[in-house]
């Protein structure tokens, strides 16, 4: 099936908002160090841009959990594909996510990370689809709340495509010609 992408949030809007979140985190964590945990692969673009906008000391780690694959519906199955390299003990952790949809992935992940002895674990997401929530998840920093649509760009993919778009777009699936 063919698809095309329509701009939802421009590069300028996304950059401006990331700058604001970086400033807010820098204020909230004044005098502390933050440990950013990036959920691969989707959050990688956001995490890099965000890290550059934070003025307190930052360390980074990465983990990968199973997600959509080639489909656009959440399976609800969460599997750790790559775990963190470093322990979280006594750290001020911010989990950086691309998008919170049903909340299933994050609710599992946050519970698991909170059991590892961090000083605190907060959640920062570039995008949030509150209408789609199935499991309650507290989001501490949100870039944008968006409607229920399948989005790509800025790290988010459809079937591994479009991650490199510098903006957030909505995927429209063209119906075959009659
Ligand atoms: P949840 O567990 O909250 O339903 O799903 C979270 C994960 O589903 C995200 O990290 C992302 O990988 C994927 N996801 C949810 N909505 C979208 C979307 O609109 N576009 C893309 N590309 N991935 C999505």
171 belongs to a structural domain:
no
For residue 104, give its domain range: 11-147
103 belongs to a structural domain:
yes
CATH number at residue 66: 3.40.50.2020
123 belongs to a structural domain:
yes
Residue 104 banded pLDDT, cuts 50, 70, 90: confident
Mean pLDDT score of the chain: 92
Whether 40 lines ligand 1, by a CB cut-off of 6 Å, is no
Residue 174 banded pLDDT, cuts 50, 70, 90: confident
Beta strands 151-152 and 168-173, pairing class:
antiparallel
Ligand 1 centroid–CA 101 distance in Å is 6
165 belongs to a structural domain:
no
Q: Which of 28, 83, 101, 159 is an active site residue?
A: 101
Domain tally for the chain?
1
Instruction: Give me the mean pLDDT over the 16-23 stretch.
Output: 98
168 belongs to a structural domain:
no
- Please give the share of the chain, as a percent, with pLDDT higher than 70: 92
pLDDT value for 76: 55
85 belongs to a structural domain:
yes
154 belongs to a structural domain:
no
Instruction: Give me the mean pLDDT over the 104-132 stretch.
Output: 94
DSSP secondary structure string for all residues of the chain: --EEEEEEE-HHHHHHHHHHHHHHHHHHTTTS-EEEEEEETTTHHHHHHHHHH--S-EEEEEEEE---TT-SS------EEE--SS--TT-EEEEEEEEESSSHHHHHHHHHHHTT--SEEEEEEEEE-GGG-SS----SEEEEE--S--EEBTTB-BTTBSTT-SSEEEEEEPPPP-
pLDDT value for 105: 87
pTM: 0.92
Pocket test for ligand 1, best of 6, 65, 68, 159 (most atoms within 8 A of CB): 68
Find the range with the poorest average confidence among 38-47, 107-116, 169-178.
Answer: 169-178
The predicted-structure confidence for 31-89, as pLDDT tens digits, reads as follows 999 999 999 999 999 999 999 999 999 999 999 987 544 444 555 567 889 999 999 99
pLDDT at residue 123 above 50?
A: yes
31 belongs to a structural domain:
yes
């Amino acid at each position: 099936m063919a698809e095309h992408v329509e701009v939802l949030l421009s590069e300028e809007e996304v950059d401006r908002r990331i700058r604001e979140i970086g400033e807010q985190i820098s204020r909230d964590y004044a005098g502390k160090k933050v440990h950013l945990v990036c959920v691969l692969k989707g959050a990688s673009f956001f995490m890099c841009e965000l890290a550059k906008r934070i003025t307190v000391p930052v360390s980074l780690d990465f983990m990968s959990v199973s997600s959509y694959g080639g489909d656009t519906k959440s399976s609800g199955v969460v599997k750790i594909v790559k775990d963190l390299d470093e322990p979280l003990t006594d750290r001020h952790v911010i989990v950086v996510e691309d998008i919170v949809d049903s909340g299933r992935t994050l609710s599992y992940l946050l519970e698991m990370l909170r059991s590892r002895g961090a000083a605190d674990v907060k959640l920062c997401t570039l995008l949030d689809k509150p209408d789609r929530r199935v499991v309650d998840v507290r989001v501490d920093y949100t870039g944008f709340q968006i409607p229920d649509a399948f989005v790509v760009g800025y790290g988010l993919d459809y079937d591994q495509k479009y991650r490199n778009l510098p903006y957030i777009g909505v995927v429209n699936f063209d119906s075959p010609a009659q």
